[in-house]
Structure 1
Amino acid sequence: NFNPECAAASKFTVVEVEEIVEVGALDPNFIHTPGIYVQRVVLNANPEKRIEKRTLATPAQ
């Protein structure tokens, strides 16, 4: 995950979140991108979560 490095190197960083919580509600050890690098926050309470599925071909007989 290169998100923190990309945010630090960028001029403008936008984060998309599912929920906005009170200050202190999250453990700082689980924060990936420090807020000092974030200029905008976009709330998306119901994001479409696309999960890749691996499909295996059946062996030729």
Structure 2
Amino acid sequence: MGIPAFYTKTGIGTIVEEGKATKEFNGKKYIMETALQADLAIIKGFKADKSSNVIYNKTARNFNAVMAGAAKVTVCEVEEIVKVGELDPNNIHTPNIFIQRLIVGEKYEKRIEQLTVREK
């Protein structure tokens, strides 16, 4: 895991502050928040290469990459696995060091990703 904790002003003077370490920087009080940690993360990628480098589609970029980095073991389900080198390195959202298991899901029904518009 990269950053074990960070300081934030969010929650100062509220119930969130209770029991947490605080520190003052430049005359302002901050709460120390610890990083998210998980034993297991099950995430959904769009495409991965055989080396387990993963790219996400649209809003799936939100927390999948964060949880892959925070978990001790990450299982990633993707729609397609391609040969190493077929993914543009600039498009990889989660490098293979954070993925321990890679599986291809079957028969995707993408109800959410269907365009829906209302009639005028």
TM normalised by structure 2 equals: 0.40
Q: Unmatched 5+ residue regions in structure 1? A: 57-61
Shift of 1:51: 0.7
- Unpaired runs of 5+ residues, structure 2, are 1-61
Q: Which moved more, 1:17-26 or 1:42-51?
A: 42-51
User: In structure 2, what is the equivalent of residue 4 of structure 1?
Assistant: 65
Q: Which amino acid aligns with 1:34?
A: P
**Bigger proportion of residues as helix:** 1
Q: Secondary structure at the match of 1:20?
A: strand
% same residue? 58
Moved over 3 A (4+): none
**Which residue is 1:25 aligned to?**
86
Q: TM-score, normalized by length of structure 1?
A: 0.72
| 1:1-61 correspondence runs (5 A) | 1-51=62-112
Structure whose alpha-carbon radius of gyration is higher? 2
Relative CO higher for 1 or 2, CA cutoff 8 Å, sep ≥ 6?
Answer: 1
Q: CA deviation at 1:2?
A: 2.3
CA RMSD of aligned residues (A): 2.1
Q: Which has the higher strand share?
A: 2
